[in-house]
Amino acid sequence: MQVTIYSTPSCSWCRAAKQFLAENDIPFEDVDVSRDRTRAEEMVQKSGQMGVPVIDIDGEIIVGFDRPRLTALLGLG
Amino acid sequence: MGLLFAEPGPAARQLLEGDVYDVAVIGAGPAGAAAALYAARSRLSTVVLDKAPSNGALAITHQIANYPGVQENLTGQELLDRMRQQAADFGALFVQTSVQTVTLDREEKEIFTNDGILRARSVVVAVGARGRTRKLPGEEELLGRGVSYCATCDGAFYQDKVVAVVGDNEEAVQEARVLTEFARKVYLLVPGEAVWGMESGERPILPNLEIRLLTKTLRILGSPWITGVEVQHKGASPAVLPVDGAFVYLSGSRPGTDFLMGQAPLDEEGYMLVDDTMATAVAGVYAAGDARRTPIKQAVIAAADGALAAVAAEKYVRGHRRLVQQR
């Protein structure tokens, strides 16, 4: 499973989401969109919006720290 | 508001990300201040968070008429300053920051704020009932496509852009400040004639921040991305202000409990459900004041709630500590 999280360092929702992934032993790529313009555009392309965090799980896009959907998509339920 | 509150930024971060606190109080109105007073006086390490310390229901009350023991002319803010100072004198710390979300289902609860992650053994939710009741036309449709509620999160997307911040409280001012670091131009659109928490005439002076008083925001425009906001200055016709982003921080009359994200039981209107000791169904989590459905929305009731919540939190923290020591 390929998990990418698009985040900014000062975003506490992002930190909550990353902590959730880490606590559930889900390896993920963390993209800091405040530093990487290209990847930021990639995030906007994928999600159709520009709020963080955005989580990409094998092409399924979750906007925001949507715990129930994240739990379902990661098969943690 | 004075110097009681650690300001957002490094000062706040240092206090938030230090030790694990015994009690974290969210909201510094009469319920939160009283909870902090009782908790700190019981020698529990206590921190109080508030996103807009001058914009609560008591803070905006012009004159206190029926608070027991107060007979002189006193504004709500002055009464609140006394309560907070009293709690601070016993060691409670006050931090101005916004809480985004929490994790409550564990011994060390976590509070995710704009200025760092706070850990605490117990939490008193005293957020009051000044949350938003209705959204602006266009707001929901353009969420993430120009509309945001978190400048510290999404500010980087507005580099060199023009943005509007809608609101009249300290949270709006703080978020506008954050956005000035990214955006070319920031409009702070204030519906009334002043910004709460600022003396009249006192304004944050930043070259790319323009404060427009007496300016109502009527709707957010654009499809599928934001193109502007429709505003109306008092006495003038509506006009379009072209912007690339709108950050909305208006107040209403709903309990401000959305940040709990279903982690503590609420009733159908968002009020927290508690027992007679102010305990929620979640271990170590309490609610006080207008955040629960009180029989009357009065400062004296909120303060009493805060006292009860702190006493219950103290029992929980000390009981738990004993258990840990016995292990």
The answer to whether residues B172 and B151 touch, using CB atoms and an 8 Å cutoff, is: no
B67 touches chain A (CB under 8 A): no
**pLDDT at B196 (0 to 100):** 79
CA angle in degrees (0–180, nearest 5) for B321-B128-B188: 120
Instruction: Check whether B176 has a pLDDT greater than 50.
Output: yes
Closest-CA residue of B relative to A15 is B112
Contact (CB<8Å) A40/B157: yes
Range B271-282 average pLDDT: 98
Phi first, then psi: give them for residue A45, nearest 5 degrees. Answer: -60, -50
For B197, the token pair is 């928490």
**pLDDT at B206 (0 to 100):** 87
Q: How far is CA B235 from CA A17, B88, B238, in A?
A: 46, 44, 9
The answer to whether residues B247 and B164 touch, using CB atoms and an 8 Å cutoff, is: yes
Residue with token string 């939190």:
B313
- How much of chain B, in percent, has pLDDT values that exceed 70? 97
Q: Which residues contact B142 (CB under 8 A, 6 or more apart)?
A: B220, B222, B223, B225, B226, B246
Mean pLDDT of chain B: 94
pLDDT category at B143 given cuts 50, 70, 90 is: very high
Range B160-181 average pLDDT: 95
The answer to whether residues A66 and A74 touch, using CB atoms and an 8 Å cutoff, is: no
Range B200-223 average pLDDT: 89
**pLDDT at B322 (0 to 100):** 75
Q: What is the pLDDT of residues B16-70, one digit of tens each?
A: 998 899 999 999 999 999 999 999 999 999 999 999 999 999 999 999 989 999 9
**pLDDT at B323 (0 to 100):** 72
Per DSSP, the three-state class of B133 is: coil
Contact (CB<8Å) A8/B153: yes
A30: closest CA among A47, A15, A51?
A15
Q: Which residues of chain A have pLDDT under 50?
A: none
Q: Which residues contact B10 (CB under 8 A, 6 or more apart)?
A: none
Complex ipTM: 0.88
B112: closest CA among A8, A18, A15?
A15
Instruction: Check whether B2 has a pLDDT greater than 60.
Output: no
Closest-CA residue of A relative to B110 is A16
pLDDT category at B199 given cuts 50, 70, 90 is: low
**pLDDT at B151 (0 to 100):** 94
Instruction: With beta carbons under 8 A apart, name residues in chain B contacting A44.
Output: 157
Q: What is the pLDDT of residues B76-102, one digit of tens each?
A: 999 999 999 999 999 999 999 999 999
Q: Of all helices (H) and strands (E), which one includes residue A45?
A: helix A37-47
Phi first, then psi: give them for residue A57, nearest 5 degrees. Answer: -115, 105
**pLDDT at B204 (0 to 100):** 72
For B113, the token pair is 């704020």
**pLDDT at A35 (0 to 100):** 92
Interface of A with B in 6-45 (CB under 8 A): 8, 10-16, 19, 33-34, 40, 44
* Number of residues written out for chain A: 77
Contact (CB<8Å) A50/B144: yes
Instruction: With beta carbons under 8 A apart, name residues in chain A contacting B261.
Output: 67
Paired with B70 in beta bridges are none
Q: How far, in Å, CA of A26 to CA of A71, rounded? A: 11
B230 class by beta-carbon count within 10 Å (0-12 exposed, 13-18 middle, 19+ buried): middle
**pLDDT at B1 (0 to 100):** 45
